[in-house]
Every structure is written in C-alpha cells, then in structure tokens.
Structure 1
Amino acid sequence: MEPVPLEPLNAMTVDVEDYFQVSAFESHISRGDWDDLPHRVEGNVDRILQLFADHGVRATFFYLGWIARRYPALVRRTRDAGHEIASHGWSHIRATEQTQEAFRQDVTRTRALLEDTAGAPVQGYRAASYSIGRDNLWALDLLQEAGYRYSSSIYPVHHDLYGMPEAPRFPFRPGDGDLLEIPVSTVVWRGRNFPCGGGGYFRLYPYALSRWALRRVNRHDGQSAVFYFHPWEIDPDQPRQGGIGMKTRVRHYLNLGRMESRLGKLLDDFRWDRMDRVFLEPDSAHD
C-alpha cells in the first residue's frame, strides 16, 4: 500500500511589536511616548513561546529593533527555544514613508542589532504593514545589499493600507537578484485574491473558513502557506485607545479573546515550521 504523502509544510510567523506600535495608531500615539506607555510585549511573547512549545511548533519571529534593544533576553529566549530570529525593521516605520537611504540604514541597523543579540544570522525581513509594493520595489535590492536572503513584505491583495494584487501569490525572485520574496498566503475566489494568512482576517473569519482556505493553498495549489499574527492579538486586556474610528477599533480589537484558542486549533490542524526551513532549506524541515 502506498504511503499517504504529507501535506506541504507551512511557515508560522510572529510580527513582534507592542499594541501601541501598530500603523493604525500612528496618528493617535506619538513615538515619543512609547517608552512611557505600559509595555506588554514581553509577557505576550512568552505566552506564545509556551503555546508553540505545547504544540511542538517552531516559527519565525520578526522582531522590531526597538523591541530587541529593550528586551534582549526575550530575543535570546526565542532563539533558545529553536525559533528563527528575523527583522521587522527598527521602529515600525512603513517603507513607503522612508527614503532609500533611510530604509538602507534602518534595515542594516536592525539586522546588526538582532545578530549581535541573538548570536545567529538574520536572513529574513518583513516590512511594517507590508509596505513594499509596485512603487518601491527598490527596497528589495537594498535588502539584498544589506545581507538578507528573503523578504516577506509584499501582500498580493487589494487593501486600503497596502497590497500589490498583481504580484505572484507564491515565492518569487524579483528582478535579477537572489533575494526571495515570500508573500503571505492568499486564496483565489472568483478570480480575486483574498487574504487567508492571518492578522485581523483570522480573527474576523470563522475558523472553519480560515482552515478551508489554508487547506486549499496546500491541496489545490500544492504550496506551503505563510501565516502571521502579532503578540498583542492574544492580549484582550491590553490598554484600550480612545478617539479612534470605528474601522480601526474593529480591526484592532475584534475577537482578541478568541485568538489564542483559534491558534491552538491551527497549530494542530496543519504542519508548521520556520520560514528559513520551509523556503530556504526545505530538506532540513523533514529531518
């Protein structure tokens, strides 16, 4: 009897930022106030590390340099638990808001700090709010020059804040360079890409719909999926922000209390590993 082939291995990722650092709060919370606000990222990341340990999952953590400088022991705990350390830029400034030189300095500075802190190579980068697209593809060349091997910064969807729907849905090498761009997962329905790789969509959709979409990526497309979430998404007790619009309030706070249990189901229902093992060294993921 032929053995049943394993479904593709998927990449689990965490964008390590605190609740007050999200792009949606930029006009409400000054960067100059960040140090004075209650910080919750360390406790939330420790909960995630325990969740992953309970389910036997290794993941990629995209750390802000701002977080790593203040919580170096947290970075090392993440590394010691077997997870990949990658870069989320220094302080969650969107690439669309940076000049080429500012972007170069940002990604170079962050990578150096993370490598010094973790004592391990940093190969991956994810732009704040998926802010690399058709108008700033130069950023991918600068990432390669800075020593990164892959990026996960282009989201092939229509969105009011980001997106490049015409981009490939699966890993590709843009231009003539060696850098691998690894988009967050989408599912095609009636000729349009719909997000299914995490974030607010995972909290909004019924879990069964998210599971169906990811299985379609694995079984119909025959591809590995990429999933992401943030530490603040498992924290329903985080400080609530006043003066924000309804759309922002719904996006940020919807179903925070259900997120951790949904993640537990997701970790059980699919096969997961780190970005580098899934996409750069796929054979090692099966050892």
Structure 2
Amino acid sequence: MTVDVEDYYQVSAFESHVEKSQWASMPSRVEANVEKILQLFDDAEVKGTFFTLGCVANSHPSMVRKIVAQGHELASHGWEHIRVTQQDRGAFREDISRTRSLLEDISGTAVLGYRAASYSIGADNLWALDELAEAGYQYSSSIVPIHHDHYGMPDAPRFAFPAAGGRLLEIPISTLSIAGRNFNCGGGGWFRLYPYAFSRWALKRLNTGESQSGIFYFHPWEIDADQPRISGLGLKTRFRHYLNLGRMHSRVKSLLSDFEWDRVDRVFPVNEYGQ
C-alpha cells in the first residue's frame, strides 16, 4: 500500500496552469489529508509506504515525523514533482540526493525507495535507475507497464525485477493482462474510474491466479472532494483529476479491509539490493 504525498496543485497535469511560483500562496491541504489517511490506516491496522515530495517534507516536517512514528515507511518522490523526462542526468542526480538527505534528516530513518513523478521512467531514460542505485536507493517503483498518453513502458515486466545491473529492484505498479493488453489495477485515476468490484476482482486475480503481491497507490488529494478547483483546465484533465473524488475515501476503506497490506520494504525483497 503506497501513498504519493503531494498537494492538489502540484500534479503534473496542472503544470501549465499553476506556476511553481504560485505554490507558496495556494492553500495547502496535504497535511490534513495525510492525517485522514493515517487514521484510515490505523483503523484498518495497515502500514504503508509514503513516497513524499522533498518540498512538502520541508514545509511539513511534523507530518513526516508522524508518518514514521506510526510505523509507516518513508520514501522519496523527488523534490518538486518534476518528471524525469524533463531532467538531465545531473539535475536528476542532484534532485534524488537532495530529497533523500532531507527526508532522512527529518525522520531519522533510512530512505530506501523512490517513485518518479508521474511514473516518468521508461524505455528512453532507464539511466535514471542507474543513478538511483548510485545514490544509494535500494528500490524504485516508477514504471507502469501500460500504454498511456503521459507515461508507461508496456514492454516492461509486470512484476518486480532487478534493474541497474542488479543493484536496484524496480517494482512496477500492478497491472492485469487481459487479451494481450495490460490494464492498470494499481490505483490512481484508474481506481476512481473503474467500478470498485473490478479493482477488487483484478487484485484477487493477481494474488490467487498469479501468486503475486499487488502494489497500489493513491494521493492525499484524491480523498479531498472539497479541494479548491483549478481554473482553465481542459476537459480531459478536469475529468481525470476530479472524477469520483467523493467516493475515494470509502473505496480505500473497503480496499484496506478486503486485502492484507504492508509497507513496500516488508513485502518485496528490497534489502537484497543497494550498496
């Protein structure tokens, strides 16, 4: 069970509508939403992994410490939600090192995992996995093996695989193969789009039919139907971001009770990797 900790205005789809210079003046809702998630997890006796933006951790250090104090894993989501496709190797190296250092300083715990903004590691920039290994990360969860207009590596393995010459474990978001095509069943907008019964069926099929652990993700803003609306969005962006936000809290609650969940570092053999 994973959470990508970012605020509603920091999503990649809003890049052309909300400048980074505006972030400081926008009402932040991430801490209150993370508090709701922590309560959901506590009620279900679930521990998860929180992939956290460095800039969010820098502004909300007490939130980060609370995540760790409650037994959850802290991992890196990069500094400012910049897609890897928009960075060269040097900028990426600085980003992942800066974020990891800050998260470890705030939390007092080792940060082993990384997730790229918008799953922006794919066939054209697999060098990023080498950089993560060099920076001391033990695993990444940054690839989605599907066709998508903004991300995806459909030819990637569907399940966890060694990367960066065996120095790093890549854990793709869960998909289900149907008629030769992979469908996302690991969270995000897909979880809000599909009926809950489909998601439950798909994850059960992964567990029982393929004997694989699923990896699921969602964002704090997805359980916040009252978040401020961003103006000027295109129809597709507006649909994807705001679809079924009011149903998300109850769906996550059902998901937590219908399956057994734990932190990434305890479900997958990440300790076999790294320097």
What is the TM-score of this pair, normalised by structure 2? 0.97
- Could you report, residue by residue, the CA deviation over 1:35-88 in whole angstroms, capped at 9, with x for unpaired residues? 000000000000100110000000000000000000000000000000000000
- How many equivalent residue pairs? 271
Equivalent residue for 1:256?
245
Query: Displacement, 1:242?
Result: 1.2
| Equivalent residue letter for 2:206 | V
Structure 2: gaps of 5 or more residues? none
Query: Displacement, 1:177?
Result: 3.0
Of the candidates 110, 120, 135, which is equivalent to residue 131 of structure 1?
120
Superposed, 1:100-139 pairs within 5 Å as: 100-139=89-128
> Is 1:247–2:214 an aligned residue pair?
no
Superposed, 1:179-258 pairs within 5 Å as: 179-258=168-247
| Equivalent residue letter for 2:266 | R
Of the candidates 150, 171, 174, which is equivalent to residue 139 of structure 2?
150
Q: Using the alignment, how far apart are the partners of 1:191 and 1:94 within structure 2?
A: 29
Larger deviation, residues 238-247 vs 225-234: 238-247
Superposed, 1:82-93 pairs within 5 Å as: 82-93=71-82
- Could you report, residue by residue, the CA deviation over 1:211-261 in whole angstroms, capped at 9, with x for unpaired residues? 011111111111000000000000000000111011100100000000000
The alpha-carbon distance between structure 1 residues 112 and 281, as it changes in their structure 2 partners (threshold 3 A), is closer
Q: Using the alignment, how far apart are the partners of 1:36 and 1:270 within structure 2?
A: 40
Query: Displacement, 1:175?
Result: 4.4
Of the candidates 42, 51, 69, which is equivalent to residue 58 of structure 2?
69
| Equivalent residue letter for 1:49 | L
Of the candidates 261, 267, 270, which is equivalent to residue 278 of structure 1?
267
Q: Using the alignment, how far apart are the partners of 1:209 and 1:164 within structure 2?
A: 23
> Is 1:167–2:159 an aligned residue pair?
no
Query: Displacement, 1:178?
Result: 1.6
CA contact (8 A) 1:141 1:177 kept: no
Q: Using the alignment, how far apart are the partners of 2:240 and 2:270 within structure 1?
A: 35
Larger deviation, residues 166-175 vs 178-187: 166-175
Equivalent residue for 1:55?
44
Q: Using the alignment, how far apart are the partners of 1:176 and 1:49 within structure 2?
A: 36
Q: Using the alignment, how far apart are the partners of 1:154 and 1:23 within structure 2?
A: 16
| Equivalent residue letter for 1:97 | Q
CA contact (8 A) 2:85 2:121 kept: yes
Ranges of 4+ aligned residues in structure 1 off by more than 3 Å: none
Structure 1: gaps of 5 or more residues? 1-11, 283-287
Q: Using the alignment, how far apart are the partners of 1:186 and 1:28 within structure 2?
A: 31
CA contact (8 A) 2:103 2:111 kept: yes
Q: Using the alignment, how far apart are the partners of 2:270 and 2:25 within structure 1?
A: 41
Kindly, what percent of the aligned residue pairs are identical?
66
Equivalent residue for 2:5?
16
